[in-house]
Amino acid sequence: MTVTDRNVVDLGTQRDTIHAVRSDFDSTFTWDYARSRAALGKLYEKAKVSQWNASTDLDWSIDVDPEKVASELGVGPADRFRALRDHPNSPVRNFGDKEWLEVAVNLQCSLLSQFLHGEQGALLCTARITETVPWIDAKYYAATQVMDEARHVEVFARYLDEKLGRQFRINDNLGALLDDILTDSRWDITYLGMQIMVEGLALAAFGMMHMITSEPLLKKLLRYVMSDEARHVAFGVLSLQEYYANLGAAELRERQEFAFETAHRLQRRFMQAEVWERMSVDPREVARILDEVNPPEQQQFQTMLFSKIVPNCKKLGLIDAGDGWLRERFSEIGIIQFEDWVDTGEEYALLDEVAKDRGHPLPA
């Protein structure tokens, strides 16, 4: 057994499938059972009527053509790689239509695989939040999210295995980020890293894929997952808004820096290094050319991924805290324009399609 400098442990012969992360945090009981946070209580009530069953609420008998699904994706996010076709130093300049279709299939499977791995990260983080958050209303809601995340892992794994027939390893940037979130002993960093940053970006990515695809099983799967994810992000906003209002300048700067570093790492996650590896292409060369050319499709894709994160950071008071450090950083990477878009604390009820589909009235 070896321990790396990231506090990550590989367990014997299971190193390819078992990944343990060492952490040191306090498990927090509260003996105050008064329901004192009405907004969290309302969210908890919504969560209870919005539970769905992956086995019965989705039609798994639908036949899925991976190449057709991938071709649809090719007119969306995959376009950001088209700049590699004509670049004189491109490692894929000799790819024909057959190879580009294979890229598209792998890209679709990779995106869904990263959703799968991220959902397992959310499962562990939410179990951590249940254990560490000091408020009973937050513990109640977090427990419902643990179930949500288990269901999300289930549906993405099943779709990849039964319908697309392949999975990809976890992206290095996503894996390192999940390790960092889980090794940090501060309960609010688990919230910020997972509920606001990772879940916020995932919600935007799900929305983009849902808009593009016409494959009915994937479309409904994504819509149901989005219903859950919107509540999850709202949970982070409602909880951290109260906590951050009482932090000092130095503590807020730490959270600002963490949010920006997380944003940068999430951007790199979508370079899809694991796709190029499977195609026997050096992903470093792909990244170098795309950074040099900076095609508009890539700029638009990477920018839109932050349309949920930025307004939520603003609602938490992080953008303009102190000397406005995070506003400057978000301006530098071209995403500050989303600051006044609707935050997920207001949006989640609109996305609660599950409760509407199943005829449950939404709590007022």
- CATH assignment of the domain containing 75: 1.10.620.20
**Count of other CB atoms within 10 angstroms of residue 66:** 18
Task: Confirm whether 364 is domain-assigned.
Answer: no
Task: Confirm whether 327 is domain-assigned.
Answer: yes
Task: Confirm whether 362 is domain-assigned.
Answer: no
In which region does residue 63 sit, left (phi positive, over 0), alpha (psi from -120 to 50) or beta (all else)?
Answer: beta
Q: pLDDT tens-digit profile of 34-78?
A: 999 999 999 999 999 999 999 999 999 999 999 988 887 765 445
Q: How confident is the model at residue 11 (pLDDT cuts 50, 70, 90)?
A: very low
Q: Which domain holds residue 119?
A: 2-357
- This prediction's pTM: 0.88
Whether 317 and 327 have beta carbons less than 8 Å apart is answered as no
Task: Confirm whether 326 is domain-assigned.
Answer: yes
pLDDT the model gives residue 8: 44
Instruction: Determine how β-strand 19-21 pairs with β-strand 8-10.
Output: antiparallel
Q: pLDDT tens-digit profile of 253-264?
A: 999 999 999 988
**Residue 294 Cα to chain centre, angstroms:** 24
Q: Which residue has the higher pLDDT, 349 or 220?
A: 220
Name which of 223, 295, 236, 226 is nearest 262 in CA terms: 236
- Highest-confidence range of 19-33, 144-158, 269-283, by mean pLDDT? 144-158
Run of H or E including 20: strand 19-21
Phi first, then psi, for residue 353 (nearest 5°) are -70, -30
Task: Confirm whether 363 is domain-assigned.
Answer: no
Give percent above pLDDT 90 in the chain. Answer: 60
The pLDDT of residue 10 is above 90 = no
pLDDT the model gives residue 353: 56
Q: pLDDT tens-digit profile of 299-325?
A: 777 788 899 899 999 999 999 998 999
pLDDT the model gives residue 159: 98
pLDDT the model gives residue 364: 44
What's the total number of domains in the chain?
1
Q: pLDDT tens-digit profile of 169-220?
A: 998 889 999 999 999 999 999 999 999 999 988 988 898 899 889 999 999 9
pLDDT the model gives residue 221: 96
The pLDDT of residue 290 is above 50 = yes
Which tokens go with 250?
């130095």
Task: Confirm whether 63 is domain-assigned.
Answer: yes
Task: Confirm whether 179 is domain-assigned.
Answer: yes
Whether 344 and 265 have beta carbons less than 8 Å apart is answered as no
Task: Confirm whether 129 is domain-assigned.
Answer: yes
Query: Of 157-161, 221-225, 328-332, 347-351, which gets the smallest average pLDDT?
Result: 347-351
- 121 burial via Cβ count (<10 Å: 0-12, 13-18, 19+): buried
Phi first, then psi, for residue 174 (nearest 5°) are -65, -45
Alpha helices in the chain (DSSP H): 38-49, 66-74, 97-132, 136-159, 172-183, 187-190, 199-212, 216-244, 249-269, 273-278, 283-293, 296-304, 309-315, 325-332, 344-347, 353-357
Question: Cα dist. 36→40, 85, 145, 282, 341 in Å?
Answer: 9, 58, 20, 54, 29
